[in-house]
Amino acid sequence: MKKVKLSDIAKMAGVSSITVSRALSTPEKVKADTCEKIQKIAQELGYIPNLMAKGLKSRSNTIGVIVPTIINPFFASAVKSIIRSANKTGYNCLFFTSDESQKIEQNAVNTLISYNIDGIIIAVISEDENYTPAYFSTLEKLHVPVVLLDRHIEAPHICGVYLDNVDSGYKLGKEVLLNNYQRVLIVSGSANSKVANSRLAGLKMAAEETHSNTIIDVIKADFNTQLAKELVQDYLSQHKPDAIIGLNNQITLGALEASVSHHYQLGADIHFYSIDEITTAKHFGISIPCIRHDVEEFGYHAVTQLIRAIESEQCDKLSDIIIRGTVVK
């Protein structure tokens, strides 16, 4: 059986296709009882509109979402909340992962353009402050609005939804320093990650303000588990900190694993703190005080900003939104 199309319904209802089109998408433009009849027939035939045909003529009502990976629960939840927000507003989402590869990221953007998406929400691949991928100029030329997620890029006309990283660092620092630990290890992201550096700056602010005698060591790793684990293992063979602060969830996981391999008892010999929640910690009975961000909020703002940009056709005037986290013990 072929797909039911507008003209099939039109034939049955004894009207033209355009009337059917109107009855289904702008019912106020069609006489009430015609409208009702058409909708009933559409229902019965199980009509499903062809977005390909629609998107060829008009806006697709679809937004593209790209994140580096869904294995990281932070992005998984962000995606979930974005999809939910978008659907509520009548937009579909096409979702891609860039898999930490610049090439795949570029492809994903191209594919989204291929699908005539109305706008893009993207968490770019790199934390590097100087990462400026080629596709930004393409998107700008095509007037496709972009909302950056979490990772900032220097581009004057692009708005974003970010975390208040300095604040996160500061709050977590205050929390840690309450304990008068002798030695604390901070495991940061890469040296040219703006996110990592801001979080670090916040921590340092807290430390300076507190005038504590705690010895604070800093390791620069990156935002993945593996490197953090290795570097913390090295560190632990020389020092024994009372607490370790991971500047994102992946780092904290790496630090935990390193500590386990040195036979420390988690949460007793060494206490852990994290920016980003370690959602599985509670299952293992380990308490990891953290900065939790309201991810629903995150998705909501990203979608709202994007849709405003789409519907006002002013990609370039929207402000950034900064989301502040809260300490959770």
Partner DNA sequence: TTGAAAGCGCTAACAG
Partner DNA sequence: CTGTTAGCGCTTTCAA
- Choose the one of a second copy, DNA, none that binds residue 248, judging by a C-beta under 5 to 8 angstroms depending on kind: none
99 vs 242, beta carbon nearer a second copy? 99
Beta bridge partners of 270: 266
Pairing of strands 215-220, 271-275: unpaired
Report if residue 313 touches a second copy, rule: CB under 8 A. no
Identity of the residue numbered 273: Y
Report if residue 60 touches a second copy, rule: CB under 8 A. yes
- Choose the one of a second copy, DNA, none that binds residue 88, judging by a C-beta under 5 to 8 angstroms depending on kind: none
192 vs 279, beta carbon nearer a second copy? 279
- Choose the one of DNA, a second copy, none that binds residue 16, judging by a C-beta under 5 to 8 angstroms depending on kind: DNA
Residues numbered 52 to 111 that lie near DNA (CB under 7 A) are: 53-54, 56-58
288 is written with which tokens? 């990891």
Angle, CA of 170, 185 and 201, to the nearest 5°: 30
Smallest separation, CB 68 to DNA (Å): 29
Containing H/E element for 186?
A: strand 183-188
Residue 71 · residue 65 · CB < 8 Å: no
Report if residue 18 touches DNA, rule: CB under 7 A. yes
Smallest separation, CB 5 to DNA (Å): 3
152 vs 229, beta carbon nearer a second copy? 229
Residues numbered 223 to 242 that lie near a second copy (CB under 8 A) are: 225
Map tokens 């060591």 to a residue: 217
Map tokens 């632990």 to a residue: 236
Q: In what order do the strands lie in the sheet with 183-188?
A: 215-220, 183-188, 243-246, 271-275, 290-292, 326-328
The residue ranges of DSSP E strands in 16-102, in sequence order, are 62-67, 92-97
Q: How many CB atoms lie within 10 A of CB 243?
A: 19
Measured between alpha carbons, how far is 282 from 72 in angstroms, rounded to an integer? Answer: 17
Smallest separation, CB 317 to DNA (Å): 24
- Choose the one of a second copy, DNA, none that binds residue 27, judging by a C-beta under 5 to 8 angstroms depending on kind: none
95 vs 131, beta carbon nearer a second copy? 95
4 vs 184, beta carbon nearer DNA? 4
Name the DSSP letter for residue 27.
G
Beta-carbon contacts of residue 79 (< 8 Å; ≥ 6 apart) = 65, 67, 70, 95, 299
Q: Is the dihedral of CA 237, 238, 241, 243 positive or negative?
A: negative
38 is written with which tokens? 């058409």
Letters for 36-55 (x = contact with DNA by CB under 7 A, - = none) are -------------xx--xx-
Beta bridge partners of 147: 121, 159
Report if residue 141 touches DNA, rule: CB under 7 A. no
Smallest separation, CB 210 to a second copy (Å): 30
Q: Which residues bind a second copy (CB under 8 A)?
A: 1-3, 46, 48-53, 55-56, 60, 69-71, 73, 76-77, 79-80, 83-84, 87, 92, 94-97, 99, 107, 110-111, 113-116, 138, 141-143, 225, 253-254, 256-257, 260, 266, 280-286
Q: Which residues bind DNA (CB under 7 A)?
A: 2-3, 5-7, 14-19, 21-22, 24-25, 28-32, 34-35, 49-50, 53-54, 56-58
